[in-house]
Structure 1
Amino acid sequence: MTSSALPVVVIGAGPIGLAAAAELVVREQDVIVLERGERAADAVRQWGHVRLFSPWSEVTSPAAVALLEAAGWEHPDRAAYPTGAEWSRDYLEPLAQLLGERVRTSSQVIGVARLDRDLLVDSGRDEQPFVLHVSSPGGTHDRVLARAVIDCSGTWSSPNPLGAEGYPAAGEDAATGQVLHGMPDPVRDLTRFQGASTAVVGSGASALTALIALTSAPLHTADSRVVWVVRRGAVGSAFGGGELDELPARGALGTRVRTAVQEGLIEVVTGFRVSAVERHGRQVALWAADGRHMDGLDQVVGATGFRPDLTFLSEVRLDLDARLQAPTALAPGIDPNLHSCGSVQPHGFEVLAQPERELFLAGMKSYGRAPSFLAMTGHEQVRSIAAALAGDLVAARAVELQLPDTGVCGGAGLFDEEPGAGGGCCGTDPGPQPLTLTAPAGVAR
């Protein structure tokens, strides 16, 4: 069988992986989607209680909508904001069902290579199809051949540790029962967090969401203690864009947290870089590199971001930015020290392509360690990739997208200095920055 007769394989049946499959189906391209979970959108279900800060109109792919509506599906209220569970139930699951046998669940990709070639071999490399090594329950090992691969596996399965140096802090692994990398669920985690002493480590939108949950009923009671642990020397822009944010639901996160801090519901500890986690019976203590420590904690929420899992791509050739672990051509436009998710540079298939011909990173995976990915960005990414794989380079290069801006920079890579101190995209008064990009949200938001 020649490579051209083989399907395109999409890794991950999340929002962007399913959108990629829809784009390929619309263009009459054979596609297989490999999902590690038991059902499509498995990762989204894990934070299903969280409400997105993008409305329905921005979290559905045009190609997917076209397929679904042709089958009698009705689009939810475009102005409403779904939870992760609603996003999955009312859109992602119906889309996966419509794609049918193209979506293979319980299929974890553990390796991608060229057929009969390891990373070192040059000879005939581009002419060989891809072979994906797939692990399934029961220990079975399958090989799936593909003419192209779109990696939409996201980053949800690879949360960053509490340790400020990128590695787990001393004792962190031993305290896994008291460290949650995710969003506290008022139903699932009621007994775990209600009335507890909890530290939230992190300063992004996930940290703000966790802080709101922990200072609201039913998790918050008169006995509750909530500590916000920020690595930088000041909270500053960690409160988000507020009224400057063109996604009002996202801007409201920071406004609510600021109010909770002012009302004394949240203790703020800045400049605290976790170096150790100590267990003391049913409680834990956090130690900082400067010798400070925080005792009497029942739980810790790690909202320190995510990173891509590159282990199963070790036998293909990648060109990734050394810091962000995102495609090198994309990295300057998504650097969180300089850009918000709405000020990304235009990018399509050419920016996402890897040196390994017909291998693309898309969705959250394409952002590497950078935060603030939007579903709208992913939808346009895979539209461009699908057009290129179908041979329509004119459509593939005609990338158009208007993204809502945060009004502030993320500053995720800064130490103690605040974003904007050296200019950047924010300056001293960024104001709204609506963009129309021509020629580019675990968890997409």
Structure 2
Amino acid sequence: MTSHRPTVAVIGAGPVGLAAAAHLLEHDLEPLVLEAGESIGAAVRAWGHIRLFSPWQYTLDDAGLRLLRGTGWLQPSPEALPTGHELVDRYLEPLAAVPALRERVRTGHHVTAVNPDAEGFALQVERADAGRTVVRAGAVLDTSGTWALPSGLGIFGEPVSGEQQAEDHGLLLGPLPDVRGADRERFAGRRTVVVGAGHSAVNTLLALADLQREEPATQVIWAVRRASPEKTYGGGDRDELPARGALGARLRELVDAGRIELITSAQTEQVLAEQSSGVGVVLSDGRVIRADVLIRETGFRPDLGLLDGLALDTDPALEAPSALAPLIDPTRHSCGSVPAHGASVLAQPEEGLFIAGMKSYGRAPTFLLATGYEQVRSIAAHLAGEDASPRQLNLPETGVCGGDPTPAPPEKSGLGSGASGSGASGASALPLTAETTSCCS
């Protein structure tokens, strides 16, 4: 693998990371994709049982498609809705196997730190087969997503007292468990409380309701921080992604029918974990929610720790690049209202460093894969010294416009097409949740 240009390191082999590599190749640049997981799209695999609400037409990148042409690859039906597993099996793995990318994508390479170097950047990489190594690059695109760092149950995303103990006892599960598959026995015939108000919470609640039909003793409780669940119910038939609109409509029906018990204004202050009697969620007003198991669907946040050695300019609340934060503030924007943006918005003070994909949205939940694809197209053009002006996207509106009059810390429901990751972080395409990371996107 040789090139007259410096290497561009791409952290994460999810949808956006692989799209970045494809665009860099088209500009005669030399990508090197470093994926922490042992397989392509490791973060997507973590929620592979979830079906995206974005059809294939919004899930494939143009540069990726150009690489796949002529390889015998069969393009999926544009209107079909893939699961996370199908996204990996039918698109990400074939893309990573294209000859032009095969030797430029390395799995099992966990980037733990990025530091300035005389030639650009030095990336500290942990490898199971070779210990710690250093990779040098002239530029870095961090598309490692957010999947690896779920937010805590506290109102600002911090862990609350007893949360870790409950997790250690197996009484608290992370986002998007496989309710009707591998994790079925943990929920069948038991009482489960789901905390969260994003699309990942919705998917989990709907799966629990389906399990309840098969196992009538199953009880489902939904706890949300807001005084009303209306924002979670979404835009219904006003949503330009029908599958996304249908999620909220179905959830509303289940709540109205009493099959899901709704608890509002539920701000968690403490978790009581007793293996013999289950778990108790103590709310700020003194109420206690008792259950056999607790599912935390309170969103994700970016792991900025690997960039600690570099100059960063990020918004303190959203943890997104400062120039991008006002454009994606979830109190003011839906997915379709976010303007196209690229290299100039995503660049960091450290020349040659860009945060892209789901990770660029920080704690905001409205990421779509199409947005990430445009981000990396612009960055690749910028690095090649060409026109990097962002191209306006025709993104599907949610049907929910305007903001919450009392903004709270963003509750990222999930991925959306977004979860990508080094270390399975992120919405490589995060899943049917906050729109994977729309989870599903």
Query: Is TM more than 0.5 here?
Result: yes
* Counterpart check, 1:161 vs 2:155: no
Q: Which residue of 2 aligns with 1:72?
A: 72
Q: Partner residue of 2:121? A: 130
Match of 1:245 in 2: 239
Q: Which residue of 1 aligns with 2:174?
A: 181
Structure 2 SS opposite 1:207: helix
- Asked if 1:400 is matched to 2:392, the reply is yes
2:334 aligned partner? 340
**Match of 2:112, as an amino acid?**
I
1:385-396 paired onto structure 2 within 5 Å? 385-392=379-386, 394=387, 396=388
- Match 1:330 to one of 319, 324, 329: 324
* Cα shift at 1:21: 0.6
Q: What SS does structure 2 have at the residue aligned with 1:216?
A: helix
2:414 corresponds in structure 1 to none
Q: Distance in 2 between matches of 1:328 and 1:200?
A: 32
Specify whether residues 412 and 160 from structure 1 end up closer, same or farther in structure 2 by C-alpha distance, changes over 3 A only.
farther
Q: State the Cα deviation string for residues 98-150 of structure 1 (Å, max 9, x = none).
A: 221211111111110111xxxxxxxxxxx641110101115711110101000
Shift of 1:164: 2.1
The offset of 1:71, in angstroms, is 1.8
Kindly indicate whether the alpha-carbon contact (under 8 Å) linking 1:232 and 1:272 is maintained by their aligned counterparts in 2: yes
Deviations along 1:58-78, one digit per CA (max 9) or x if unpaired, are 100000011011322121111
Report whether the alignment pairs 1:276 with 2:270: yes
Q: Which amino acid aligns with 1:380?
A: E
Distance in 2 of aligned mates of 1:152 and 1:413: 32
Secondary structure of the 1:397 match is: coil
- Write the mapping of 1:143-154 to structure 2, written as runs, cut at 5 A: 143-154=134-145
Q: Report the 3-state secondary structure (helix = DSSP H, G, I; strand = E; otherwise coil) of the residue aligned with 1:215.
A: helix
| Superposition RMSD in Å | 1.9
Alignment match of 1:105 (pick from 82, 104, 107): 107
Query: Separation in 2 of the partners of 1:405 and 1:108?
Result: 36
How far apart are 1:217 and its partner, in Å?
3.5
With the length of structure 2 as denominator, give the TM-score of the two structures: 0.89
Q: Secondary structure at the match of 2:113?
A: strand
**CA distance in structure 1 between the aligned counterparts of 2:281 and 2:74, rounded to whole angstroms:** 49
Q: Name structure 2 gaps, 5 residues minimum.
A: 409-434
Partners of 1:241 and 1:332 in 2: CA distance: 23
1:368 is the counterpart of 2:370: no
Match for 2:289: what amino acid? M
* Map of 1:294 onto structure 2: 289
Match of 2:432 in 1: none
- Determine helix, strand or coil for the equivalent of 2:280: strand
SS for the counterpart of 2:232 is: helix
Q: Partners in 1 of 2:129 and 2:213 — Cα distance?
A: 39
Q: Quote how far apart the aligned CAs of 1:236 are.
A: 2.1
Alpha-carbon distance in structure 2 between the residues aligned to 1:290 and 1:39: 45
Separation of aligned partners in 1, 2:203 and 2:5: 46
Alpha-carbon spacing, 1:264–1:218, altered in 2? closer, same or farther (3 Å): closer
User: Which residue does 1:316 correspond to in 2?
Assistant: 310
The residue number in structure 2 matching 1:200 is 194
SS in 1 for 2:294: strand
SS of equivalent residue, structure 1 residue 401:
coil
- Give the equivalent residue in structure 2 for 1:421: none
Identity %: 49
- Paired residue secondary structure (2:204): helix
Q: Say if 1:238 and 1:410, in contact at 8 Å, map to a contact too.
A: no
* Partner amino acid, structure 2, of 1:387: A
**Per-residue Cα deviation, 1:348-399 (whole angstroms, up to 9, x for no partner):** 110010110010010000000000210010011111111111111x2x1142
> Is the Cα contact below 8 Å between 2:328 and 2:366 reproduced in 1?
no
1:353 aligns with one of 334, 338, 347: 347
Secondary structure class of the residue paired with 2:134: strand
Q: Please, which of 293, 298, 303 is the counterpart of residue 304 of structure 1? A: 298
Confirm or deny: 8 A CA contact 1:6 1:145 kept in the other structure: no
Q: For residues 220 and 207 of structure 1, do their structure 2 counterparts lie closer, same or farther at Cα, with a shift above 3 Å needed? A: farther
**AA aligned opposite 1:376:** A
Match in the other structure for 1:432? none
CA deviations over 1:320-362 (Å, ceiling 9, x no partner): 1111111111111100000011110221110010110010010
Q: Secondary structure at the match of 1:150?
A: strand
Q: Structure 1 pair 366/400, CA: closer, same or farther in 2 (3 Å)?
A: same
Hey, what does 2:27 align to over in structure 1?
Answer: 27
Q: Residue 235 of structure 1: CA displacement?
A: 1.5
The CA distance in 2 between the partners of 1:95 and 1:376, in whole Å, is 17
Task: In structure 1, give the amino acid aligned to 2:174.
Answer: H
Residue 178 to residue 415, structure 1, CA distance change in 2 (3 Å): farther
User: 1:184 Cα shift?
Assistant: 2.7
Moved more, 33-42 or 404-413: 404-413
Q: Which structure's CA Rg is the greater one?
A: 1
Cα distance in structure 1, aligned partners of 2:232 and 2:142: 31
Amino acid at match of 1:302: R
1:320–1:275 CA distance, 2 compared to 1 (3 A)? same
Determine the structure 1 residue equivalent to 2:418: none
Aligned with 1:37: secondary structure?
coil
User: Hey, which bits of structure 1, 4+ residues long, moved more than 6 A?
Assistant: none
Q: Which position in structure 1 is the counterpart of 2:14?
A: 14
How much has 1:187 moved relative to structure 2? Answer: 1.0
Structure-2 separation of matches of 1:277 and 1:220 = 29
Q: 1:359 to 1:170 in 2, by over 3 A?
A: same
Residues 316 and 288 of structure 1, relative CA distance in 2, 3 Å threshold: same
Letter in 2 for 1:337: T
Within 1, Cα distance between the matches of 2:342 and 2:58?
18
Q: Which amino acid aligns with 1:408?
A: V
The structure with higher relative contact order (CA 8 Å, sep 6+) is: 2
Partner SS, residue 166 of structure 2? helix
TM-score, reference length from structure 1: 0.88
Verify the 8 A CA contact 1:232 1:415 in the aligned structure 2: no
